[in-house]
Amino acid sequence: MTPTMKVIAINASPRVNGNSAQLLEEWIKGYQSVFPEADVKKIFLYNLKYTGCRSCFACKQKQGKFYGTCPVKDDIHELVAEVFEVDALAIASPTYFGNITGMLHSFLERAMFSKNTYHLNHESLAPKPVPITMLYSCNCTPELAQKFHYPNHWDDLEAEIGHVFKHPTSRVVAYNTYQFDNYEKYDVEMFKEEDKRAWRAAHFAADLGHAFSTAQEIARNTH
């Protein structure tokens, strides 16, 4: 009997149906191509009200009531615990100043700090390994991303995520994404709509395919 896999898919973009959302949906389809009955919980962070870590240190208090957990009661209180119990986690975010959105950064602070210890060996308190896919949509080309060290930012972030969640992190990136319905309405002289359209026609389907195949591989390696 095929087990019911539990998955959380987080959209950390302010757009409900933008590039990040499309990557996330393809990841879900890829996972469900292996586990059709997977229980997928979709989260849109911009609908939730919460803050980043409040530096209360209740999660670090010896023999404390909240040791290893985040005590803050707001819209992500349950979610910051749930992400450590699933069989797979997918997180999609646009790239702002070379990194993830502020909403996602705040969420990760809350989810990860409680499980990250100040012990000498820096071990994680996560109950089990959770495979995570980070899906990035990026307005700039691969060349510009390299010039401004975007992959370095992602490397550092994913190393910490992988440590806390006890599993290497997978990465999918869609570069040079199409941002507007009509570029003539906006002051964006460094971009030409016809160039963006041509890039999307040549690359975005492959980016979606990468999201799909990454999820398939994770699902196949789960058990």
Q: What is the pLDDT of residues 197-218, one digit of tens each?
A: 999 999 999 999 999 999 999 9
Q: What is the pLDDT of residue 184?
A: 87
Please give the mean pLDDT across all residues of the chain: 95
Cα 52 from Cα 104, distance rounded (Å):
9
- Tens digit of each residue's pLDDT (9 = 90 or more) over 140-197: 999 999 999 999 999 999 999 999 999 999 999 999 998 888 888 999 888 888 999 9
Report DSSP state, residue 61: S
Q: What is the pLDDT of residue 180?
A: 84
- Tens digit of each residue's pLDDT (9 = 90 or more) over 102-136: 999 999 999 999 999 999 999 999 999 999 999 99
Nearest to 31 by CA among 90, 79, 91, 98: 90
Residue 3 has pLDDT above 90, yes or no: no
Residue 68 has pLDDT above 60, yes or no: yes
Report, as an integer, the average pLDDT of 87-113: 97
Integer CA distances (angstroms), 195 to 126, 140, 190, in order: 45, 12, 11
Residue 2 has pLDDT above 70, yes or no: no
Predicted confidence band at 222 (pLDDT cuts at 50, 70, 90)?
confident
Q: Which pTM does this prediction carry?
A: 0.95
Cα 148 from Cα 102, distance rounded (Å):
19
Predicted confidence band at 33 (pLDDT cuts at 50, 70, 90)?
very high
Phi, psi of 11 (to 5 degrees): -95, 110
Q: What is the pLDDT of residue 191?
A: 87
Residue 1 has pLDDT above 60, yes or no: no
Which residues contact residue 34 at a Cβ distance below 8 angstroms, ignoring those fewer than 6 apart? 215, 216, 219, 220
